[in-house]
């Protein structure tokens, strides 16, 4: 039995990046030997084990064979006879296909496919022709470009385009696409993820609502700002969806199974575009109506997120402050007391609106 550190954790170490969890491959061992050594089996499709103390994952060296379309159509084979190089050969990019003996932290890098060369050149290059068998690798390439700023080797980009043309990406399930998108949105340069998917001819098949794609489209400019401002995932998604319109946003959300909080925020922004553009000139009554229509009294945190999206899209800071003051003023109105003094629902609504307009007017005059 021999243990090797492999994959992304080794890549990040060599780049000088922090590593939270390390990836390990075990050669020359059987599942029974791993259990006898105290490891806990957790893998369903192939033998993966948790270390008894560190709880990091240790996978038996394995090979794989394509049996059906899509990223799930593989049969895996793990045995003590599978070599480290055979295991590394099934990986996506050369920078992820390096290894180092576990008990030799300063030891030589085992690099059968030129990963060190490509790491120094900041290039993503596929390991071998089997790259085309897994369409998730297109998404991973785009995400790595967004994270590291690497270039994609021309021959690898050609393979990605062939995979798109052959319809291989059509087998991707929405949940897996969103998983990769969500991680890509949170990288340093999320716009680069979409640029790479467009270059690979994959964006129109994965998310046609985002096409025709332009790097300087309002949504991409806002997304770049959102990343610079460190905004949360729902806000970054809403930025990327700017300019699509409510119907296309809903279509994109349905296609990718986008979580409700991100979808609702994106829809709310598209519905609020006109009011947000006029926020500096809205009078007290219009501000009260905007706060109500945005459901700001019940969901003030979502309204705050909406304003962060609008700021990333170029709304003046003074406009956001104006809406925030209006919200605070509306929330300061004693709704319960006003309701008890009225005779029916219509009278309650009219009195509440009048009280909120008066409060907003006072707040704006005091600013």
Examine the pLDDT at 11 and tell me if it is beyond 70. Answer: yes
- Of 34-38, 202-206, 232-236, 356-360, the range with the lowest mean pLDDT is 34-38
The string of pLDDT tens digits covering residues 175-218 is 999 999 999 999 999 999 999 999 999 999 999 999 999 999 99
Q: Residues 109-143, buried b or exposed e (16+ Cβ, 10 A)?
A: ebbbbbbeebbeeebbbbbeebbbbbbbbbbbbbb
Coil, strand or helix: which one is 176? helix
Say how far apart CA 110 and CA 6 lie, in whole Å: 9
Q: How confident is the model at residue 365 (pLDDT cuts 50, 70, 90)?
A: confident
Please determine, for residue 159, whether its predicted confidence score (pLDDT) is greater than 70. yes
Please state, as a whole number, how many other Cβ atoms lie within 10 Å of the Cβ of residue 265.
Answer: 24
Q: What is the pLDDT of residue 18?
A: 92
Q: What is the pLDDT of residues 78-95, one digit of tens each?
A: 788 899 999 999 899 999
Q: Is the pLDDT at 70 greater than 60, yes or no?
A: no
Percent of the chain whose pLDDT exceeds 70? 95
- Sorted by where each begins, the domain ranges of the chain are 1-113, 122-206
Determine which of 35-39, 100-104, 172-176, 178-182 has the lowest per-residue pLDDT on average.
100-104
pLDDT number for residue 276: 95
pLDDT at 45: 63
Which fold, 1-113? Answer: Beta Polymerase; domain 2 (3.30.460)
- pTM as predicted: 0.89
- State the pLDDT at residue 66: 56
Average pLDDT over residues 324-332: 96
In angstroms, the CA 330 to CA 350 distance is: 14
With beta carbons less than 8 A apart as the criterion, state whether 21 and 3 touch. Answer: no
What's the whole-number average pLDDT of the chain? 92
| pLDDT of 103 over the 80 cut | no
Summarize pLDDT for 283-298 with one digit per residue, the tens.
999 999 999 999 999 9
pLDDT of residue 355: 96
Query: Residue 25: what pLDDT?
Result: 94
Q: State yes or no: pLDDT of 5 exceeds 60.
A: yes
**DSSP alpha helix (H) spans, the chain:** 7-14, 31-36, 84-89, 115-121, 136-148, 154-165, 174-185, 190-199, 203-206, 218-229, 233-240, 246-256, 260-277, 284-293, 300-312, 317-331, 335-340, 345-366
Q: Give CA–CA dist 239/227, Å, rounded.
A: 10
Place 17 in a pLDDT band, splitting at 50, 70 and 90: very high
Mean pLDDT over 262-275 rounds to 97
Q: For residue 256, is pLDDT > 80?
A: yes
Where does the pLDDT of residue 316 fall: very low under 50, low under 70, confident under 90, or very high at 90 and above?
very high
For the residues 351-367, what does the mean pLDDT come to?
91
Q: List, in order, residues 6 or more apart from 66 with CB less than 8 Å away.
A: 73, 74, 130, 133
Lowest-confidence region among 6-10, 44-48, 172-176, 181-185: 44-48
Residue 77: pLDDT over 90:
no
Q: What pLDDT, on a 0 to 100 scale, did the predictor assign at position 366?
A: 74
Query: What's the pLDDT score for residue 130?
Result: 87
Res 132 pLDDT > 80? yes
- Residue 342 reports pLDDT greater than 80: yes
143 closest CA partner among 96, 97, 99: 96
Indicate the class that CATH gives domain 122-206. Answer: mainly alpha
Res. 69 pLDDT band, cuts 50 70 90: low
């Amino acid at each position: 039995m021999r243990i090797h550190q492999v994959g992304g954790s080794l890549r990040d170490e060599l780049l000088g990046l922090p590593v939270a969890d390390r990836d390990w491959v075990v050669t020359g061992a059987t599942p029974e030997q791993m259990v006898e050594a105290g490891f806990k089996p957790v893998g369903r499709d192939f033998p993966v084990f948790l270390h008894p103390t560190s709880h990091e994952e240790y996978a038996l060296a394995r090979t794989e064979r394509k049996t059906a379309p899509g990223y799930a159509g593989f049969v895996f084979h793990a045995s003590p006879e599978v070599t480290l190089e055979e295991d590394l050969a099934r990986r996506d990019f050369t920078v992820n296909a390096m290894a180092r003996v576990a008990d030799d932290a300063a030891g030589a890098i085992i690099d059968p496919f030129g990963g060190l060369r490509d790491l120094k050149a900041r290039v993503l290059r596929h390991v071998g022709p089997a790259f085309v068998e897994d369409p998730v690798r297109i998404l991973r390439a785009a995400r790595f470009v967004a994270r590291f700023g690497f270039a994609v080797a021309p021959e690898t980009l050609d393979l990605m385009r062939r995979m798109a043309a052959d319809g291989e990406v059509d087998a991707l399930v929405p949940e897996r696409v969103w998983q990769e998108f969500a991680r890509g949105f949170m990288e340093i340069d999320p716009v680069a993820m979409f640029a790479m998917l467009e270059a690979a001819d994959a964006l129109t098949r994965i998310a046609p609502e985002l096409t025709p794609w332009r790097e300087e489209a309002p949504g991409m400019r806002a997304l770049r700002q959102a990343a610079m401002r460190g905004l949360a995932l729902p806000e970054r998604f809403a930025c990327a969806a700017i300019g699509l319109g409510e119907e296309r946003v809903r279509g994109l959300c349905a296609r990718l199974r986008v979580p409700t909080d991100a979808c609702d925020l994106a829809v709310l922004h598209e519905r609020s575009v006109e009011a947000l553009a006029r926020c500096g000139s809205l009078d007290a009554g219009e501000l009260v109506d905007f706060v109500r229509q945005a459901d700001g009294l019940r969901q003030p945190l979502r309204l705050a997120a909406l304003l962060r999206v609008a700021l990333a899209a170029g709304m003046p800071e003074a406009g956001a402050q104006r809406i925030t003051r209006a919200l605070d003023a509306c929330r300061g109105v004693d709704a319960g007391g006003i309701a008890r003094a009225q005779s029916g629902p219509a009278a309650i609504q009219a009195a509440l609106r009048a009280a909120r307009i008066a409060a907003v007017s006072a707040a704006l005059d005091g600013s």
